[in-house]
A and B are shown apart, each in its own frame.
Chain A
Amino acid sequence: MKPLNNRAWFLVTPVLLLVAFSAVIPLMTVVNYSVQDSFGNNEFFWVGTEWFEEVLRSERFHKALMRNLTFSAIVLAIEIPLGIAIALCMPTRGPWVSVCLVLMAMPLLIPWNVVGTIWQIFGRVDIGLLGHTLAEFGIDYNYSQNVVDAWITVVMMDVWHWTSLVVLLCYSGLVAIPEMYYQAARIDGASRWAIFRAIQLPRMKRVLLIAVLLRFMDSFMIYTEPFVLTGGGPGNATTFLSIDLVQMAVGQFDIGPAAAMSLIYFLIILALSWVFYSVMTRDDDQGN
């Protein structure tokens, strides 16, 4: 058991001050805006929960939320199994391990707007390899006009961008499994699938939880990549919550509803993350 020592607060104070400065104050501003209205000139008056009601009732918000939920669901459904599969197939020792890891980590360190730009170019029919190749095969593909094409491209871009994170997490979980477990399983005559079910999956649970949480949160907050790629279009087909929010706050300067939406948005992420967390740790009666 760790010793009780309230002086440890001194060590935490810098973090507290920093985060308070960069989180609490801005959040207070948001809360402040969300319950007031203004006719300019910095004159504000109290409107209570009006903005919240408006946002929650607005079709625009519902649609953006649905788009975001759909997007996160698709992205998780592809990236998590794919990431696990790739991690399972990776070499476990030898010089190729580093090569694989380094190459796979590359997309994670590319600025998000460059990721958008890469795919924007890659998918163009006139100058992009993907668009051009598809056109050669007579496939009509245009992500800036066709809704389905736009979604496919955005999802593919996200898979390209983020699957590596899942791979690296799963891989680190896999290499942490002692060799003994595999030896015991071989002696017990376990099949490849039985080994996966009985050893690898349970032992990867912790890193998988991190992967699911991170991927859910980041896909739910996605902004820059689709903004660069499609600008939220065609129409509003790829206008996710963040894009909508920035449009509302910076573009239209509807600060009240934007603030209310911000808070609702934040709460949804917290709530869903909590759900993921408790579902995945449900039968952890003891934890280790």
Chain B
Amino acid sequence: MASIIMDSVAHRYTSKGEQMQEYALKPLNLEWVDGGAYALLGPSGCGKTTLLNIISGIIIPTEGRVLFDGENITQLPPQQRNIAQVFQFPVIYDTMTVAQNLEFPLRNRKVPLQERQQRVEEILELLELTEFADQKARNLNADSKQKISLGRGLVRTDTNAVLFDEPLTVIDPALKWQLRAQLKKAHQQVGHTMIYVTHDQTEALTFADKVVVMLEGEVLQVGTPQELFDSPAHTFVGRFIGSPGMNVLPCSVQENKAEIDGQQVLLNHDYGRPKISWELGIRPENVRLVEQHSDQSALPVSIARIDDIGRQKIVHTALGNHTVHVIVKEGTRLPARPAVLFDPGHVHLYDDAVLVSPPAATGSDH
């Protein structure tokens, strides 16, 4: 087990004419604490698989260093890094039984027979595969196959980290929860560092202690699920996480007032001189739907559509040219002349999509 440090790592794929392409992964510094459960979250093509492959050694980054426990292993091939990887599609050795599949990494490392059998039995038990031990791995269903690929990583005692590359893609939705729970359990029992790549926020938020959100080769935010939800560092994080995502509305800001389409919103902080083309972000959970004039800071809107999603409703309201999503409880009466009220404590402001941290002091100091 090891902590993993990425020191100004960046990567560019070389194309045919050996010409450098755009960064697939822009320069970044990251530290993965030993024993942590991480998720790498982002849309397809954001560079998360590249990042994962740099850790596993399948890709050698064009810039920067990768350190395992302080040791520079940037140039080492995968087999010498003692990592385990579970791929998008189950990789199993067709002709072998389940037990033989689990034994394969140990046999390649010439581990003595007795120890091998013992380890395989432990892992079979951990992953609840004991009853299939002597079946051909090929004949199992996809989730058991994924467990075998995971098991091949866990069976070794020297594993530094277990990497998952969208491992639930081919799993039946009904079994996803179950398998994810087993992954969690394995993590708790074995205590390896685990890094989980996904584009599914639910998977990321339920699996990981810390989530790394990526976009276009860049890390936008690293934080606990709660942090990502409460204070998105980037409008993309706000939109990407949550269902529906954060409302992002273009605005201009002067002192403690923001102006959206000519309507004013009161802020908790004073931002001083006028700023134009900022954005205001507020989660649908933090917006209330009220009667107009019931509160002087409520903004009049019209209701465009209502989606009923069981215990809650998502109300699509039109504020000028912008759509504001509001989440209301089932059974709430909708106001006849609706207006939206933003919870000032949860309003975030963004300049060029990046979160503006509020000035330290409140009140007017100039």
Contact = CB atoms under 8 A, between A and B. Distances in A.
Interface of A: 178, 180-181, 183-184, 186-191, 194, 198-199, 202-203, 285-286, 288
Given A202-B94, A202-B95, A203-B94, A187 B108 contact: no
A198 B104 contact: yes
B108 A190 contact: yes
B229 interface: no
Given A189-B105, A198-B104, A285-B136, A184 B87 contact: yes
A57 to B, nearest CB: 45
B105 to A, nearest CB: 4
B74 interface: no
Interface string B81-108: 0011101110101111000000011001
A188 B87 contact: no
Q: How large is the interface on B (under 10, 10 to 19, 20 to 34, 35 or more residues)?
A: 20 to 34
Nearest to A286: B139
B36 interface: no
B273 interface: no
B320 interface: no
Nearest to B79: A189
A184 B95 contact: no
29 contacts: A180-B87, A180-B88, A180-B89, A180-B91, A181-B91, A183-B58, A183-B85, A184-B87, A184-B91, A184-B149, A184-B152, A186-B58, A186-B77, A187-B79, A187-B84, A187-B85, A187-B153, A188-B79, A189-B105, A189-B108, A189-B109, A190-B104, A194-B108, A198-B95, A198-B96, A198-B104, A199-B93, A286-B138, A288-B138
B87 A183 contact: yes
Interface of B: 56, 58, 77-79, 83-85, 87-89, 91, 93-96, 104-105, 108-109, 136, 138-139, 149, 152-153
A56 B56 CA distance: 65
Nearest to B83: A187
Nearest to B135: A285
Those 9 A-B pairs whose CB atoms lie nearest each other, nearest first: A188-B105, A189-B108, A184-B91, A189-B79, A198-B93, A202-B94, A180-B87, A186-B78, A202-B95
Contacts of A181: 91
A154 B89 CA distance: 47
A91 to B, nearest CB: 15
Contacts of B77: 186
Given A188-B152, A285-B139, A183 B78 contact: yes
A211 B78 CA distance: 35
Given A178-B89, A180-B87, A285-B136, A187 B78 contact: yes
Contacts of B91: 180-181, 184
B362 to A, nearest CB: 54
Give the one of B56, B91, B138 with max A CB within 10 A: B91
B89 to A, nearest CB: 7
Contacts of A178: 89
B151 to A, nearest CB: 11
Contacts of A187: 56, 78-79, 83-85, 105, 153
Given A187-B85, A189-B108, A202-B94, 6 more contacts: A181-B91, A186-B58, A187-B79, A199-B93, A285-B139, A288-B138
B58 to A, nearest CB: 5
Contacts of B149: 184
A233 B125 CA distance: 68
A190 B108 CA distance: 6
A210 B87 CA distance: 30
A213 B93 CA distance: 25
A287 to B, nearest CB: 10
B93 A202 contact: yes
Contacts of A194: 104, 108
B90 to A, nearest CB: 9
B360 to A, nearest CB: 48
Contacts of B105: 187-189
Contacts of B104: 188, 190, 194, 198
A58 B95 CA distance: 46
B50 to A, nearest CB: 13
B224 to A, nearest CB: 29
Contacts of B96: 198
A239 B88 CA distance: 56
A81 to B, nearest CB: 19
Nearest to B81: A187
B147 to A, nearest CB: 14
Contacts of A288: 138
A199 B104 CA distance: 12
Contacts of A286: 138-139
Contacts of B109: 189
Contacts of B56: 183, 187
B94 A184 contact: no
A203 B149 CA distance: 18
Contacts of B85: 183-184, 187
A91 B11 CA distance: 25
B195 to A, nearest CB: 14
A254 B136 CA distance: 55
